[in-house]
Amino acid sequence: MHGPFLEGKSDHIQKLHNLGIIIITVFIEKPDGKMPEPDEILDFVKNNTDTVMASIPEEDVGQNFTTNESSTMNSAGPGPARRKPRVLLAACGCYSATKFRQICQCFITWSDVKAVLTKEACYFVDASTFPYDSVRLHFDNQQWTVWETRGSSLHIELYTWADIIVIAPMSADTIAKMLGGFCDNLLTTIIRLWDCKKPLYVAPSMDPFMWNNPLTARQLQSLGELGSILITKIGEVTDGEHMTEPAIISEFVKLHYILNRPAE
């Protein structure tokens, strides 16, 4: 999904774009120099990303997915209803993980959701506040207890179940582990299993000094070459985090799913 967002923006992202790597970006300039509110960005995206919106069947634009127990998707045309997409959300240990509950709330409006928290993410996320009837949380320490009780591996169960994985936020540490092929926790083991035919979205978040380090640009390029879809803001990071707002992440993933969902 390319478009008007990349013109004259940061060198890292422009170079990735030039290589043909899929990047979902969010950038709007306001006269006062402040970052726009999520609703403003969504309006901008819907009004200006012609290459995206023109490709979506008219009946799918603005579509709401069902949230009933049958887990099906409303279909505006003839034929059987589609089931809702199964989204595996994951959070790594960084400050933006404080928004993970909000991310889950956005995604459950249109998809079935399960979630993975790394041990480090638990420092920023209060698991007791999650609605377990809508989002089932999974933790590193459950990876092998499931084997003991059910005779199966949790990472394989989650990998098999999910249509989509969205890692938001993704820390610098997990980016490095993913590129190194590490399998030292539940999330990195799922990533190592992941079928590249299924979409994997990453929303990086890290300290401004880490983000602006040349190594980060190289690692983001490698993620893109492996088929990951990067969801990121544009420009220099000065506010202590770099993750796109939860509503934007959810909306982009939903649009991308509509454009690329397999035929049933």
Domain limits of the chain?
Answer: 1-45, 85-224
pLDDT of residue 203: 94
Q: Provide the pLDDT confidence category of residue 54 given band limits of 50, 70 and 90.
A: very low
Helix (H) or strand (E) holding 170: strand 164-170
Whole-number average pLDDT of the chain: 75
Q: Is 180 helix (H, G, I), strand (E, B) or coil?
A: helix
pLDDT of residue 31: 56
- In angstroms, the CA 30 to CA 39 distance is 14
Q: Hey, what CATH topology would domain 85-224 get? A: Rossmann fold (3.40.50)
- In angstroms, the CA 95 to CA 109 distance is 24
- In angstroms, the CA 26 to CA 6 distance is 9
Rounded to 5 degrees, φ, ψ at 75 are -120, 125
Question: Tell me: the pLDDT tens digits for 168-190?
Answer: 999 999 999 999 999 999 999 99
Overall pTM surpassing 0.75 (yes/no) = no
- In angstroms, the CA 22 to CA 24 distance is 7
- In angstroms, the CA 217 to CA 208 distance is 13
